[in-house]
Chain A
Amino acid sequence: MTKRILLIDDEPDITFTVKDILEDNGFKVDSFNDPILALNYYKVNFYDLVILDIKMPKMDGFELYTKIGEKDPQVKICFFTATAMFTEEIKKALLTLGKTINEVYFIQKPIRIEVLIKKITLIINKNKK
């Protein structure tokens, strides 16, 4: 069964690129450049994975993570960021939300297609949280 992915990043060139890559690899992808819009049109129990950028105007990735988690507690969410991976600041930001997240759920930009697909497949196939 085709896996459904929601991609949210404020950079249109990123969503354009990653959407095409993922679709080329057999995923079905919805993408948004505006986090607010993404939240408004969010479809509960629809996606197998949500991929979030962290640094976005209007609403950052952490806030969006919380909001989507509230709407759809079962969905898997991972971060896709150009920021250095898993810095102390990110850990702290997550801790203030009361969350600890496995490093697996962090994917750093830029990333080669092969590696990206492997990581996403791994996350989707992981046991439910």
Chain B
Amino acid sequence: MIYDRDFFFKRRKEIGLISVVVIIISSFSLFFYQQNITEQNVKNSIFAQYKDRQIESTQAISEHISSDLKLLKSILQGIADSSLLQQGLLYGDRIDKMMQEKFSEVNNVTKVDTIFIADKDDIVSYEIVSEGTRRFINIDLSFREYIQETKNTLRSTFSDGFKGIDTIERIALAVPIVNSSSGEFMGIVGVKIPTESFFSLYGNIQDTNSQFLVVIDKKGTLLAVGADKSLVGKNFFGEFVQNFTNHNPILMNLTQNLLQGIPGYAIYDYGKGERLTTNALVFIQGKPLYFIQIVTPTTTIYSKINNVLFEEKLTMFSLIGGIIAAITALIIVLIKWNSILNNEVKKRTKELQESNREIALANEELKVHDKMQKEFINVAAHELRTPIMPIIGLSELLYNKVLNKNENNLKQETLKEYLQTLVRNAYRLQKLVEDILDVTKIESRIFKLNTELFELNEVISNVVTDFENSIKNKNSKVQILYEPNRSKIFVNADKTRLTQVISNILDNSLKFTQEGFIIITTRITNKEKDDDKDNKVIVIIKDSGIGIDNEILPKLFTKFVTKSNQGTGLGLFIVKKIIEAHGGKIWAENNSNGIGSTFYFTLPIVKTSEIVIDRG
């Protein structure tokens, strides 16, 4: 469990990165999968829409053509019903004037290159042609089917396509001039319309590569063909056109249906690319007169669809890209956040561990201190009880002897020895009590110095004098030598405590020196020799005794360390604490010549100049 957590913990960056990659890959896979499924549907649907629109527009074009042709017819009807023609006037200036007006009016509607009037025998009596068109005045038109039909039915007639001498394919509209009162046929007024320029108004008949228009008449003659100009005037079902379309059965079927009045659409390819063709019929007076086909190369449709799809894809792609970027940013933020939190937790944990460690350490110190305290009490108790034994024992013994008047038994010498022992142990007890009180003060940190300014040589001399006197009394073979420093040494210290320090050290030296000397010297430190910033005095106490036991030396200044039969083992401990309280140091070493040992302690000194100022 912990292992797993550690694993994820350590690999969180990699896992984050992998997550991002997985999210990106799966997003894109899903996106492309969905895209492929829907793309075909969208294509089909757009194509269907396109086809429907084309059917509608084909229908609209046919209606447009139909309405234009109707307008043309009504203009011609107006000419036929005009008073001039009704009066039988079929040419002349007045006719010319009217016809010029009408010609331009007609040409406003659509492209007409000839307007003519024929008499009742079909002879052209008047004619206006547009520039570059041949005139046919006095030509007999009776060979034209539409002329015959108009004459026979007395109804206006739209012709199928026909070719003139100039090989331009035309259709014609003929309106009979019928006397409004007698109903007598008086002639025909008609227009000829070049099919290509006429139908080009409604659709592309030039460019085969884009959507184009095809117009067919009732007989199947092609009046306008965007696919190829050479096909104009040819019959759709004829060899020429069929060769062109490679006898495509779908197109053939579609066109047959169209001519039978059935509109529709088809998709086919006769070798020049897939095409979508929609049909419509141009009705005049309820009859289908012309048939139109709108042909679109499907590539143009698909390119449009692809454009739409591409735009759609681009939108989706940006959307997904945006989402991925947002998620990635979020994950990065989360990883960053996690990392920050993690560091914070680590920091806190470390702090906690540190503080736990400190507490444990403090606890350990307390335990050690507690143990030391117990030990101190045990040792102190032992040390205190020991001198009491001779005091109680000997005083009781003396008392008993005095009480029993057994004085004969008590020699003078014994009495003296008893009293010496009693006094010695009483002093020992006193010294012990003082030392233990000092130690207790030091350890409970209520130890205070009563400092004053004094001259160190004087104090040392006093202590030495006291010791010399005591030595004389004991008949000791030890000589104490002290040569005071030539200059005065002022210290700001506790005189009593310092006396105690020197006494204790001398005491100690004396204890281990049976014969020889104890030499006390002082020296002022200096920068060059001692590398000491502040001036200090070093007090040196050298003896010729037995030296310090190597086992004792490292713990010489700790409590209850002693090799002597007398002494508490507290003296040097107290000495060290007093020196340290003065800001000094104390140490000891065995002399290099192997005889005796030397104690050193330092004290900060007060410069003479400062003393002068101080005294004002």
Contacts and interface: CB of A to CB of B under 8 A. Distances in A.
Do A and B bind? Answer: yes
B400 interface: yes
Contact of A109 (B378, B385, B397, B563): B385
Contacts of B612: none
A16 B421 contact: yes
Given A10-B565, A113-B397, A17 B390 contact: yes
B421 A82 contact: no
Given A12-B565, A113-B397, A84 B390 contact: no
Contact of B378 (A16, A83, A111): A83
A98 interface: no
B459 interface: no
A83 B389 CA distance: 13
13 contacts: A11-B386, A12-B565, A13-B389, A16-B390, A16-B421, A18-B393, A21-B396, A24-B397, A82-B386, A83-B378, A83-B381, A109-B388, A112-B396
A110 B221 CA distance: 155
B1 to A, nearest CB: 46
Contacts of B314: none
B382 interface: yes
A110 B397 contact: no
Given A18-B393, A112-B392, 17 more contacts: A11-B565, A13-B387, A13-B389, A16-B417, A16-B421, A17-B389, A17-B394, A17-B397, A17-B421, A24-B400, A57-B563, A82-B381, A109-B385, A110-B391, A111-B392, A113-B396, A113-B397
Contacts of A111: 389, 392
Interface residues of B, number: 24
A14 interface: yes
A30 to B, nearest CB: 18
Contacts of B390: 13-14, 16-17
Contact of B389 (A10, A55, A82): A82
B413 to A, nearest CB: 13
Contacts of A63: none
A9 to B, nearest CB: 9
Interface in A40-85: 55, 57, 81-84
B591 interface: no
Contacts of B393: 17-18, 20-21, 110, 113
B247 to A, nearest CB: 127
Nearest to A53: B386
A55 B400 contact: no
Interface of B: 378, 381-383, 385-394, 396-397, 400-401, 417, 421, 424-425, 563, 565
B386 to A, nearest CB: 5
Interface string A102-129: 0000001111110000000000000000
Most chain A beta-carbon neighbours within 10 Å: one of B386, B388, B421: B386
Contacts, number: 66
Q: How large is the interface on A (under 10, 10 to 19, 20 to 34, 35 or more residues)?
A: 20 to 34
Contacts of A14: 386, 389-390
B374 to A, nearest CB: 10
Contacts of B383: 82
A11 to B, nearest CB: 6
5 tightest Cβ-Cβ pairs between the two chains A and B: A82-B385, A17-B393, A110-B389, A110-B388, A17-B390
A46 B388 CA distance: 31
Contacts of B389: 13-14, 17-18, 82, 109-111
A82 B392 CA distance: 14
A11 B391 CA distance: 13
Contacts of A16: 390, 417, 421
Contacts of B387: 13
A126 to B, nearest CB: 24
Most chain A beta-carbon neighbours within 10 Å: one of B396, B417, B563: B396
A78 to B, nearest CB: 15
Given A24-B397, A24-B400, A13 B388 contact: no
B392 A110 contact: yes
A115 B390 CA distance: 15
A35 to B, nearest CB: 13
Nearest to A80: B389
A83 B397 CA distance: 24
Contacts of B381: 82-84
A12 B564 CA distance: 13
A24 B399 CA distance: 12
A21 B392 CA distance: 11
Contacts of B397: 17, 20-21, 24, 113
Interface string A1-43: 0000000001111101110110010000000000000000000
Most chain A beta-carbon neighbours within 10 Å: one of B393, B394, B397: B393
A112 B400 CA distance: 12
B396 to A, nearest CB: 5
Contacts of B401: 24
Contact of A13 (B382, B385, B396, B425): B425
Most chain B beta-carbon neighbours within 10 Å: one of A17, A57, A111: A17
A55 B383 CA distance: 11
A108 B391 CA distance: 15
A94 B417 CA distance: 37
A90 to B, nearest CB: 11
A14 B397 CA distance: 13
Contacts of A21: 393, 396-397
A18 B387 CA distance: 12
Nearest to B384: A82
Contacts of A24: 397, 400-401
B379 to A, nearest CB: 9
Nearest to A57: B563
A113 B383 CA distance: 20
A10 B390 CA distance: 13
Nearest to B428: A13
A11 B387 CA distance: 9
Contacts of A55: 382
A82 B378 CA distance: 10
Contacts of A82: 381-383, 385-386, 389
A20 B393 CA distance: 9
Contacts of A84: 378, 381
Contacts of B388: 109-110
A128 to B, nearest CB: 29
Contacts of A113: 393, 396-397, 400
Most chain B beta-carbon neighbours within 10 Å: one of A21, A81, A108: A21
Given A18-B393, A110-B392, A110-B393, A13 B421 contact: yes
Contacts of B378: 83-84
A110 B382 CA distance: 10
